[in-house]
Chain A
Amino acid sequence: MSAHSQAIGSRVLRPRPAFSLRRWTEREGVFSWLMVIPPALFLVALVGYPFVYGIWLSLENRPVAKPGVFVGLANFITDLHDPVFWQVAQNTFVYTFAATALKMAGGLALALVMNQDFKFRNLVRAIMLLPFIVPTVLSTIAWMWILDPSFSVVNWFLVHWGIANPGPSWLGNPNLAMFSLIMVNTWRGLPFYAITLLAGLQTISPELYEAATIDGASTFARFRYITAPLLKPVIFIVTMFSVIFTFSDFQLVYVLTRGGPANATHLFATYAFDVAMSGGQFGLGASIALSMLPPLALLIAGMAWYMRGEKT
């Protein structure tokens, strides 16, 4: 018995090393940081650094493949005197507002329609998402053919039914081109809205509707006082995503119009691409791309403020 207790005593008394790497890495804070550091470094190197480097570039006069010269805010001043830049800003706002409004209205409508019980609902939901998952450039190529100046299928029907002859030039007329882009953007983004809002609708307890119905609330009142307030946070998140990615859209415009006709559909991203890649002026291009940031930040801050005001 005494031998037994001695064994335990000697084990307890064995001196602990002052430092053990293994024990150190087992500490919660150390382990966490060891895990987080590699991906964090990766993001700093390929997002943080390019971002800062982009700001630096925007302050330089830098033709492609030549060393840059620091010019301060000269690029931004050039932008402010460039009529195309202002047209681009206007185009981007029109595009973002119109497309986001259409996606929100259409997405909400589709979500409400699909929130009813019907056969094959999951299958329909899966099919509805197709425009969102198929690579954008590939589906936009199909749209380009649908809106083709000579062989547009839309125009075939317009002519065939005697509505217009010849049909409109969907991508050739400045206003129609913007309209077409907004429609295609809506086509692609609407499913995301609809499916996310549908998921939001399904978290609303049916008991709320039952109680409201018993109290004599009309369909509209139920929507106004139950659905709308409870869906608001979801709408906010989805709209924020939509605004950011519509505002900075590149693919649709690059494929369908390349900014034309006469810059009528150039957005910040495509104009920056034209100036930097086709024109070879990296500094000026970077300044145009950076000009997206303040309005975008304002839009998001405004939306956040609006949401906050609603809560209190």
Chain B
Amino acid sequence: MTVERRGWRIRALKLWLPLGFFMIFNLFPFYWMAVTSLKPNSELYSRKIMPLVVYHPTLEHFVKLLTETDFITWTYNTMLVAVVSTAISLVFGVMLAYPLARMKFPGAALISFAVAATYLVPQPLLFIPLADIINKLGLGDTLTSVILTYPTLLVPFCAWLLMGYFKSVPHELEDAARIDGATRLQTMFRIFLPLCIPGFISAGIFAFTLAQNEFLYALIFLTKTDVRTVPVGAIAELVRGDVFYWGQLMAAALLGSIPVAIIYSFFVEHYVAGLTSGGVKA
């Protein structure tokens, strides 16, 4: 019995205490976002009352955000850009990953090295020349500018992740289809790709969250309110000079995070599989 009690204490010390600490550290900003967005300004800007709870919750900030700013347009833009650039990236990702993972061809090593290198090129290295190129192409302040540039961040990642997945699929089914006279394209579309749907979900979810997260290109290419994405809109338009509209900022941060969080919650396992495949399998 003493052993059991000691075991309980050790478990609390080794598991629940550190876990609790990390949980609070990780989640506090989200709690703070939610609480702040519900507070009336009188509570928001008071140094007297306990800040962790809301005494008179109000939806005033949400109403103002949705009616007085272009938040809905920003959300629409963000979603559109994320969905289209994810789709492009998946198609290009398959076109790179399928030959690299399943076939032998001269130059394969060079291509896979180039894909890995592109993956590691940090964005700040490219934003100045890209800004110039986008301007010269007359694409400034269009969603096309970001739809074109986001896949440069997502394609190498999708290709890498899909290559790992493709390599794990056995060859027998494809061989059988080839012997039965299917062309390579037919084999790929009818036999191979349907087997890889989990891989597509992993890569797609990951690319989608990356596209939602992107800020630098959007900040530079999109300077008009009707083409902005949520992060850029919030930073550029809810902070006017030195005035921060904290209630609306927090409401925007919360509403902007919810779509990603919902999609993520449906596909957590796929997301984690994608996240860890890079590090663990490589």
Residues in A whose Cβ lies below 8 Å from that of B121: 47, 51
Residues in B whose Cβ lies below 8 Å from that of A156: 47, 51
CB pair A286–B129 under 8 Å, yes or no, is yes
CB pair A134–B52 under 8 Å, yes or no, is no
CB pair A40–B96 under 8 Å, yes or no, is yes
CB pair B260–A129 under 8 Å, yes or no, is no
CA A26 to CA B186, docked complex, whole Å = 11
Binary CB contact string for chain B from 149 to 160 against chain A (1 if under 8 A, 0 otherwise) = 101100110010
Is the interface on chain A under 10, 10 to 19, 20 to 34, or 35 or more residues?
A: 35 or more
CB pair A138–B264 under 8 Å, yes or no, is no
Does B32 sit at the interface, judged by CB under 8 A? yes
Does A95 sit at the interface, judged by CB under 8 A? no
Q: Given known contacts A146-B32, A153-B52, is B215 in contact with A196 (CB within 8 Å)?
A: no
Interface segment out of the listed B1-9, B56-64, B168-176, B247-255: B247-255
Q: Which of B27, B108, B213, B264 contacts A136 (CB 8 A)?
A: B213
Q: Which of A33, A127, A195 contacts B107 (CB 8 A)?
A: A33
CB-nearest residue of chain A to B206? A133
Binary CB contact string for chain A from 91 to 132 against chain B (1 if under 8 A, 0 otherwise) = 000000000000000100110011010100010111111110
CA A163 to CA B148, docked complex, whole Å = 52
Interface segment out of the listed A4-12, A76-84, A266-274, A301-309: A266-274
Does B240 sit at the interface, judged by CB under 8 A? no
CB pair A250–B215 under 8 Å, yes or no, is yes
Q: Given known contacts A127-B27, A141-B250, A187-B29, is B131 in contact with A277 (CB within 8 Å)?
A: yes
CB pair A248–B125 under 8 Å, yes or no, is yes
CB distance from B228 to the nearest CB of A (A): 12
Binary CB contact string for chain A from 43 to 62 against chain B (1 if under 8 A, 0 otherwise) = 10011011101100100000
CB pair A32–B129 under 8 Å, yes or no, is no
CA A260 to CA B106, docked complex, whole Å = 51
CB-nearest residue of chain B to A57? B129
What's the dominant secondary structure at chain B's contact region?
helix
Q: Which A residues lie at the B interface, using CB under 8 A?
A: 22, 25-26, 28-29, 31-33, 35-36, 38-40, 42-43, 46-47, 49-51, 53-54, 57, 65, 106, 109-110, 113-114, 116, 118, 122, 124-131, 133-139, 141-143, 145-146, 148, 150-151, 153, 156, 187, 190-192, 195-196, 199-200, 203, 233-234, 237-238, 241, 244-245, 247-248, 250-251, 254-255, 268-269, 272-273, 276-277, 282, 285-286, 289-290, 292-293, 296
Q: Which B residues lie at the A interface, using CB under 8 A?
A: 14-15, 18-19, 22-23, 25-30, 32-33, 36, 44-45, 47, 51-52, 92-93, 95-96, 98-100, 103-108, 111, 114-115, 118, 120-133, 135, 148-149, 151-152, 155-156, 159, 183-185, 209, 212-213, 215-216, 219-220, 230-232, 234-235, 246, 249-250, 252-253, 256-257, 260-261, 264-265, 268-269, 271-272, 275-276, 278-280, 282
Can you pick out 21 interface pairs between chain A and chain B where the beta carbons lie within 8 Å of each other? A22-B183, A31-B103, A36-B111, A39-B159, A47-B152, A118-B19, A131-B29, A133-B261, A135-B213, A136-B213, A137-B213, A141-B253, A142-B32, A146-B29, A151-B51, A153-B51, A200-B280, A248-B125, A250-B123, A277-B131, A289-B124
